Structure 1
Amino acid sequence: MKVINISKEDSDFIIIGVDILPQSIPSTSTHYSVCVYDGNKGEIIKKYAKANLSKIIGLAQSSQASYVATDNIYELVRNPSQIPKLCVQLLPKTKIVQVTGSPVHGFTSLLKLMKQNGIPIPNKLTPMAAAEACSVLSSKKLGYIIEPFEDETKIIVSRSRAKGPGGWSQKRYSRLMDTSVDQEAKNIESQLIELRLDYDKKVARSKFGAKKVVFSVYALISEVTKAFRKRRGELCQVQIHPVNKERVEFIPLSQQVQIKSSLRRLIVGLDPGLTIGLSIMDLNGKILKVASFREASRGQIIRAITQYGKPTLICVDVYPYPAYVEKVAAALNARTYTPRSVMTVSEKNEISRKLAMQHGVLVKNAHQRDSLASAYKGYTKFKGEFEKIDRKYYSQYDRSIRDEIKDLIVKGKTPIDAEDIISKSLRKNMIELPKEVIEKTLAQEISKEDLDSKIKMLQEHLDWERRKNSELYIEYQTLEEKVEYLETRLQEGKSEYMESMQREKTFLVKENEISFLRDKVSNLEQELDRYGKRVEELKKVSLLRGNEGWVPLKVIRKFSYEEIEKTARNYGLGPGDIVLILDSSGGGGKTADQLLSYRIKGIIGNVNHLSYNAKLRFFEEEILMADPAEVEIIRIDEIAVIKEEDLLKVLERAKKELDVKIVEKKKGILDNLLDEYRDERKKEIEEYDERLQNKRTRSSAPYEKEDTEDEFN
């Protein structure tokens, strides 16, 4: 594409007029006639009989055009949602102008505009002639700038790429990215402070810094891009986006045509925080809006307020005022207010219930409740003075003028001073024209200055009517919302009891679940601590087992057949093993035989708890038995170690005790043999003595003397 060379002196007011060619629709294949016009010199620089939209955008960028003028914006785009996309592709200083009017102000045909402004009209209006006419008309400040953006710009600092699926370096890479995002955000914030740009900041924190930082800068993107640029680095990226309006706005090029916002004065209740509660009332106490916004920017809240009018009072339920509220009040030129005493939750609930019954509003959460209570408190503070103004000036002024007097009183003016200020303002801006003046202007030639003055006054009158229409439309919308709410409440009332019971049931279930989960979390934390300690002990035991001077033990939890088999299966039992029995009770001789079948060397356990038969079997097999209280044993579950020197000492002591027991046993056997021998000899002697005594007894009898002698012979 050919670049147009324009001197710096002339580059301030370049206009590109465009008109769609016949049989074209706004799409990728659309073509236009293009006229590049120098507004300072009043001459055409270049014409293009056929150019697509990309070429027009390139021309606007290379020439640094002030306007891209057309007679119908929908020749460039297919629907309103594409207007912001088109504006983003242009330079911030380049505006799109529709010369034929706007939906708000009405439309005038291009031919009529050409005739009114002395532009030659050809026999047939070709696309090129239309493009030239658009550029000339916009150079004369006729037309409307199409503005799709708010006076707010988002600067987003974030990671330039994802962390990836994982790996050894993922944490290190995340730390580098988050640190880079945090540092870049600090640099941008310092620049914003240095440039004195108003902004809000939201940070998504991470372990190492910040994953994402969003700055809401309350300035046009053209101002922001003078100091900041989009960029993408290896670790972080900076993106700059304008904030779209809810509806595209048409701003008159001519200073004589201005649209005044509605003069309806408002009382606004705010509950700042992560979720912002917003309530709007008029100065008569009528509730216009109750809503809540999650993570809304200050600009979004201000736009939501100004849709209904101009705030007189910004009310909150805390003191001192949060910085967020002070900034909103300063931007809207409103006074802040907070109740003298802190409102309790029960008081807020009572106010919200009362207003819900009176006005039919639906309060959905605590944020809406707090904001509504704050707004109501602010209204009751000045309610008496507002009613006096209405009674005094009801027949003299309409509602909007009375609201202005109330606004001045809220801001500290006395009623007399407020009335004087309003009276002077009305006299200065009086828009009625006498009948004589109208007849005179019709009878004589009207100069351009008189015509401009008349247009200005009529425009003000039209603005006045539009303002009233806007108020009525807002009131109509409010009534519609109220009707819809009442219909909804009527339907909800039929099943309100069941819903409340269901809520209570759900609440109890959730409460039980929470209690159960809390107990579970507590148990898991305790178990985690226990396992942590066990891990540390296992590390210590593992380290000790690997060192010289420590001997492993095979642990049997209970002296039973099953536990012996479990230890043998899991850890192995074999000749020469030393076994640690934690619970020595229960088993008998057969259990001892089961353990002896593995040909173990010794047992460490509470010998006193062993059964008689078990001790007898171990003694018969000369198994060494020692008490664990005599040595230091380090044990984790089925893993235990003992110092080698301690083991040798306890085994030596056990062997000595066993030897002593064996000697005692042998001595006992010998003593038993001697006792048996003595008993047998004693018995033999006693039997002999008894026989001898019997013989003596018989020999003492006379008639048995001979027999006795014969017996001895």
Structure 2
Amino acid sequence: MAILILGLDIISENPKRFAVVSWFNGMLERKGEFTLYRLIRFIHAKRPDIIAVDSVTELGDDLRKFLRALPPGTKLVQVTGRPGEQRSLQSLAREQGIRTGDRFDPYEEAKLAALLASKGVGYEVLAFEDEVVVKVTRGRSPGKGGWSQDRYRKRVHNLVRDKVREIEERLRRAGIPFDLETEEKDYGLSKGEFRVYASREELAGLIKPMKGGDVEVRILPVERSELGFAPLTGEEAIKERRSIIVGIDPGITVGIAAIDLNGRIVALHSERNMPVGEVFRFVSEVGHPIIVATDVSPAPGFVEKIARSFKAQLFAPRESLRVEEKNELLRDLGITVDDDHQRDALAAAYKAYLRLKPKLEHIDARLREAGLSKKSEEVKALVIQGYNLGEAMQKVSLKGRRRKEMEEPGEEQRGFDAEPYLRRIRELERRIEFLERENEELREIIREQRKTIGKLERKIADYDDEVRRKVLRERELEAKVKRIELLEKQLKEAKAVIERLSRDLVQVKRMNVVEIRGSAVPLKVLRVLSWRELQRIEREIGLRRGDVLFVANPAGAGKAIAEELVEKGIKAIITEKPLPEVVASVFREAHVPFFTSEELDVKRVDEFAVVERETLETAIERLLAKWEEEDREREAEKLARLLEEYRIERIKELERKAREELEEEKRKKRGGKDFKF
């Protein structure tokens, strides 16, 4: 398969400039000299499969920026090996049979880097985890505003919710594990954040970034804390590792616990913001997991990703473990942990072990009988992976026999005949040619299938539009039903008001007839006895001398407003409640009659009231006569009190004069005696 490789080497440090050589289908071409900015633009235009360098340190502080700028599918390869194990370009080139030139020529170095990468030499620089964060948010701030702004904000939050649901459905259909956190707002969502446990390449074509509209979708790869290096071809030899059961508690702080197949704890760890790649590396250093366990049901996407990465079985309890149950499991182990995350992870691993314990003990008993106790761990791992016990024992026995045979080669292996291998190579070449043709045919089928999928997706989109329109119609119908219910309620209330007003109208007509006949006196109605209400009456119907007023609530009235009514010459005042003392005293002094509605049997409808003329006149005459009698009695009492006061003063005056005359006589007598002396 033809690939494009760009070889780079640095020409100058300040300003930073690079020599670029391309390798495509066996052809080398010198591309020229590039600054870092122009180089990134060139890479985005050409989209090479590999960018080969002799050392990533040549990029200096711009390394992380350069890695973030690489398009999906482009690898950065350090051809000289991983850090600490690097070799020179010239020595690697000689091993691969590549002719070398001037080692101080940047273009020669760039050419060697490209040629070595084309032969599968080097290590890919890994800057990102196999993990992606997808953020769905509002495309713009709704700001402040009235009703229309509120409707727009609700619409945007509904669009965000629909986009989150669409991405969630696509990930589920593709079988990609993920965790989702949302933030609700206005019966919709203001934000949705997916943590997807897959690489950017796996999401290509599945989730597309969106920018500039009401909804924004951003795809952010998760960077590694330290750069990783993976060989371009082949796999490194993996040492035989012990089989373990791993419990994982995902979240902001990740808890990891590992126990061996005998129930002994071999690792316990927790770390904040630990990406899936770091978890994978930590577990790999401890051993090879055959079971990955969680304490909740269903299992989180994070745990599913770890289990799938190790091709291990996933264990989830039938029901999520309670805190009391976790503490009981830790008491059985006789261990204390640093935090709740380690506790949850260890409880999950130990729960999985307890589920397998009877089977593991049975395996140990059978192996002791067969004399294979030393192979206990390998047999247990195979049984857990799905082999029956007999198959597992046989597989382990054959493996040991082969290893022994390889360590002690026989006489027949000392000779070497290359012919079978050459025949096998030719056979494999024909097989490769056949597979390439078949591959091309399958690619054509895939293209056709993709076209069909596109058509079906458009049909689904049309169906979704139809369903959405149906939902909108149902919502509109529901709104109309609610509107009808509201109008019916308002109609019922209006009918009740009309019925009450009809009764009042009949009463008013009767009162008008009484008034026309002259047998009733109309009253001018005031709701309260205040200056504002008095101004309203004067403005609307006027207030004349001789009017009779009806006041519903006189409480709070003062002396001044009472004096004003007296000055206006009202004939009488009728109230539903007694008048305040200060107001009553003013009307009493001015001989303005006042009564309560109960005393006169007032008939009232809203702002209209009447009283029988004869009843009113009689009440006024009686009250005025009563007041006149009281005034006469008061005057008589006053006159008698004045006469009594005058009599007392007169007596006091006569007594004073008598004392003075007596004193005068005594003085005269004393004066005559003095003269004789």
TM-score tier, shorter chain, comes to 0.5 to 0.7
Counterpart residue number, 1:282: 259
**CA positional deviation for 1:604:** 4.1
Residue identity matched to 1:46 = R
In structure 1, what is the Cα distance between the partners aligned to 2:269 and 2:600?
79
Show the counterpart of 1:46: 30
Residue identity opposite 2:562 in structure 1: L
- Alpha carbons 2:257, 2:268 under 8 Å: kept: yes
- Counterpart contact for 2:526–2:552, Cα < 8 Å: no
CA distance in 2, matches of 1:629, 1:414: 108
CA distances 1:108-136 after superposition (whole Å, capped 9, x unpaired): 22222122222233364422221111111
Match of 1:526 in 2: none
Please state whether the residue corresponding to 2:182 is helix, strand or coil.
strand
Once the two structures are superposed, residues 685-713 of structure 1 have per-residue CA deviations (whole angstroms, 9 ceiling, x without a partner) of xxxxxxxxxxxxxxxxxxxxxxxxxxxxx
Structure 1 residue 258 displacement after superposition: 2.5
Alignment of 1:420 onto 2:394: yes
* CA shift for structure 1 position 146: 1.1
Q: Are positions 1:213 and 2:202 aligned together?
A: no
Matching residue's letter, 1:405: V
Matches of 1:328 and 1:623, distance apart in 2: 98
Residue 148 (1) aligns with residue 127 (2) = yes
The amino acid that maps onto 1:33 is A
- 2:105 corresponding residue in structure 1: 126
**Partner in structure 1 of residue 214 of structure 2:** 235
1:534-563 CA-to-partner distances (Å, cap 9, x unmatched) read: xxxxxx9xxx9xxxx9977338xxxxxxxx
Give the alignment of 1:256-271 within 5 angstroms. 257-258=235-236, 260=238, 263-269=241-247
Distance, in Å, in 2 between the alignment partners of 1:175 and 1:305 is 46
Deviations 1:341-360 (A, max 9, x none): 986544433444675xx444
Give the one of 519, 522, 527 matched to 1:553: 527
Structure 2: stretches of 5+ with no match in the other structure: 423-496, 502-507, 509-523, 544-548, 637-677
Q: How does 1:353-392 map to 2 (within 5 A)?
A: 358-363=334-339, 365=340, 369-383=343-357
Matched, 1:312 2:312: no
Decide whether aligned partners of structure 1 residues 251 and 604 sit closer, same or farther in structure 2, where only a CA change above 3 A counts.
Answer: farther
Aligned-pair distance for 1:293? 6.9
Match of 1:660 among 597, 605, 619: 619
User: How much does 1:68 deviate?
Assistant: 0.7
2:8 to 10, 18, 23: 18
Shift in alpha-carbon separation, 1:341–1:162, aligned structure 2, 3 A: closer
Any residues of structure 2 matched to 1:585-604 within 5 Å, and which?
Answer: 593=559, 596-597=562-563, 599=565, 602=573, 604=575
Aligned-residue sequence identity (percent) comes to 26
Corresponding position of 2:17: 31
Q: CA deviation at 1:670?
A: 6.9
Flag the 1:279–1:594 CA change in 2: closer, same or farther, 3 A. farther
CA distance, structure 2, for counterparts of residue 163 and residue 629 of structure 1: 66
SS of the residue 1:134 aligns to:
helix
Letter in 2 for 1:349: N
Contact 2:52-2:113 at 8 Å conserved across structures:
yes
Cα RMSD after superposing both structures: 5.3
d(CA) in 1 for partners of 2:183, 2:281 = 25
Alpha-carbon deviations, 1:415-472, whole Å to 9, x = none? 55433333445556789756999x989xx9x99x99xxxxxxxxxxxxxxxxxxxxxx
How many correspondences in the alignment? 514
CA distance in 1, matches of 2:352, 2:377: 15
- Amino acid aligned to 1:376: Y
- Mapped to 2, the partners of 1:654 and 1:413 lie a distance apart of 115
SS in 1 for 2:61: coil
Q: Which amino acid aligns with 1:281?
A: A
Instruction: State whether residues 266 and 280 of structure 1, in contact with CA within 8 Å, keep that contact through their aligned partners in structure 2.
Output: no
Q: Structure 1 length as normaliser, TM-score?
A: 0.58
Deviation of the 1:101 alpha carbon: 0.5
Deviation at 1:139, TM superposition (A): 0.9
The equivalent residue for 2:89 is 110
> Which whole-Å deviations, capped at 9, do the CAs of 1:466-495 have from their partners, x for residues lacking one?
xxxxxxxxxxxxxxxxxxxxxxxxxxxxxx
Contact 2:293 2:352 in 1 (8 A): yes
Asked if the contact 2:177/2:301 (under 8 Å) is kept, the reply is no
| Match status 1:252 vs 2:228 | no
- State the distance in 1 between where 2:575 and 2:147 align: 47
Q: CA deviation at 1:388?
A: 7.9
- Of the three residues 351, 370, 379, the one matched with 1:405 is 379
Give the gaps of 5 or more residues in structure 1: 1-8, 451-539, 556-566, 585-590, 633-642, 678-713
1:58 to 41, 45, 55: 41
SS where residue 76 of structure 1 aligns?
helix
Q: Match for 1:554: what amino acid? A: V
Corresponding residue to 1:86 among 63, 66, 69: 66
Q: Contact 2:257/2:342 (CA < 8 Å) preserved in 1?
A: no
SS in 2 for 1:162: coil
Q: Go from structure 1 to structure 2 and tell me whether the alpha carbon gap of 1:178 and 1:610 turns closer, same or farther (over 3 Å shift).
A: closer
Pick from 58, 67, 76 the counterpart of residue 96 of structure 1: 76
User: Structure 1 residues 570, 286: closer, same or farther in 2, change over 3 A?
Assistant: farther
| Structure 2 Cα separation of the partners of residues 137 and 368 of structure 1 | 46
The CA deviation string for residues 581-607 of structure 1, in whole angstroms up to 9 with x for no partner, is 5879xxxxxx97466345487574543
CA distance in 2, matches of 1:327, 1:630: 92
Paired position in structure 2 for 1:348: 326
Shift of 1:308: 4.5
Q: Sort the Cα spacing of 1:332 and 1:117 in 2 relative to 1 into closer, same or farther, 3 A.
A: closer
Structure 1 166/381 Cα, relative in aligned 2: closer, same or farther at 3 Å?
same
- For the residues of structure 2 that align with 1:149 and 1:368, how far apart are their CA atoms? 26
How far apart are the structure 1 equivalents of 2:301 and 2:276? 11
The answer to whether the 8 Å contact 1:554/1:573 transfers is no
Aligned equivalents of 2:601, 2:6: Cα separation in 1: 99
